[in-house]
Amino acid sequence: MKELANIKEVKENLVKLISDDWALVSAGNKDKWNTMTISWGAVGELWGKDVVFAFIRPQRYTKEFMDNSDYFTVSFFDETYKDALKICGTKSGRDCDKISLAGLTPSSDGEAVYPSEARLVIKCRKIAVQKMDNSGFIDGSIESNYRSGDYHFVYIGEIEKVLEK
């Protein structure tokens, strides 16, 4: 993988990559890590930094890794990995070795882990986390995403590195 100078060098539409193609958010280290599929998220600028916003529900096993790690990655794949992303979105690492089931292998970049099969990886240093709740919802229809009251935690990571195949 080659390192890009910054996120602005990515030629693809990051909104499409997240919402349509999906991504994996991963945290931990090469020996003990977890990953999960995301189709919600954002890349942008906040506090004078290029950042990623990752949304994770409290019951997700990956949340434990996110909470205990200083870094996380967001990884994007070729279409041939869509089934692997489905596995990572529907299976829990608490119950099975979903990473092996998905055919993924860990790689690391210092403090961050990511699947080596990814074609684009954004390495982030965690700089903020906040639990969402409905007190800020102006559009009442948003609440339909939280019938169980399991509001996402928003993880904000400063982009430190972008790797591309």
What's the burial of 150, exposed, middle or buried (CB within 10 Å: 0-12/13-18/19+)? exposed
Show Cβ contacts of residue 2 under 8 Å, excluding neighbours closer than 6 positions: 163, 164, 165
Q: Which residue has the tokens 């280290």?
A: 29
- Supply the pLDDT for residue 76: 98
Please give the residue that has the higher pLDDT: either 131 or 30.
131
- Supply the pLDDT for residue 112: 96
The 10s digit of each residue's pLDDT in 122-148 is 999 999 999 999 999 999 999 999 999
The 10s digit of each residue's pLDDT in 44-82 is 999 999 999 999 999 999 999 999 999 999 999 999 999
C-alpha to C-alpha distance for 27 and 111, rounded to whole angstroms: 9
Q: Which residues constitute the domain of residue 47?
A: 2-164
What is the domain-level CATH number for residue 111?
A: 2.30.110.10
3-state secondary structure (DSSP) of residue 125: strand
pLDDT band at 30 (very low <50, low <70, confident <90, very high): confident
Read off the pTM. Answer: 0.96
For the chain, what is the domain count? 1
